Amino acid sequence: MIMAGVIVIAFILDAIFGDPYCIPHPICLIGKLISKGEQVLRKRFYGSEKKEFIGGMLLSIGVVLISFLVPAAILWGFSKIHWSLAVLLQIWFCFQIFAAKSLYQESMRVYHCLKRDRLEAARKAVARIVGR
C-alpha cells in the first residue's frame, strides 16, 4: 500500500514540477558509469570477439548491479534512521525517474520545430531529450 502511495505522489510531483534540471538525472549518471566502465574494460578485453563479449557482459552485469545496489543501500541506510525517511527518498527517486512532464515538453519542442521546417533546431531539441 505504501509503494502505491509513493508512486502516486511521485507522479503528481512530476506532473507539477517536471524534471529538475539543476541536478543530474539518474539516467545520465548511469550513462557516465557505462562510458567509464567501457573505457576501462576495452583496455583489458580487446583483441577478439570473445574478449569483447566477455567485457560487454561484465559491463552489463556491473551496471545493473551498481544501479540496483547503490539506491538499495541508500534506502536501507535511511530506513535504519527512520522508515519515513526511506519513504520520502523513495518518492524522490520515483519523481526523478518518471520525468513524464519534461519528456512531453521536450517532445513538443521537437514537434513545433519540425512543424515549422526548422530541422536543425529539431535536431538540437532531440539531443536535449537523448542527453537528459
- The stretches of the chain forming alpha helices (DSSP H) are 2-17, 26-44, 49-81, 83-98, 100-115, 119-131
**pLDDT for the residue numbered 24:** 76
How big is the chain by its Cα radius of gyration, in Å?
A: 19
Angle at 52 between CA 47 and CA 54, to 5 degrees: 130
What are all long-range contacts of 3-8, with beta carbons under 8 Å and residues at least 24 apart? 3/90, 6/87, 6/90, 6/91, 6/94, 7/94
23: DSSP letter: S
**pLDDT for the residue numbered 46:** 83
pLDDT in single tens digits along all 132 residues of the chain: 678 899 999 999 988 888 777 777 788 889 899 999 999 998 888 888 999 999 999 999 999 999 999 999 999 999 999 999 999 999 999 888 887 888 888 899 999 999 998 888 888 888 877 655
What is the distance of C-alpha 113 from the center of its chain? 26
pTM confidence score: 0.72
**pLDDT for the residue numbered 132:** 54
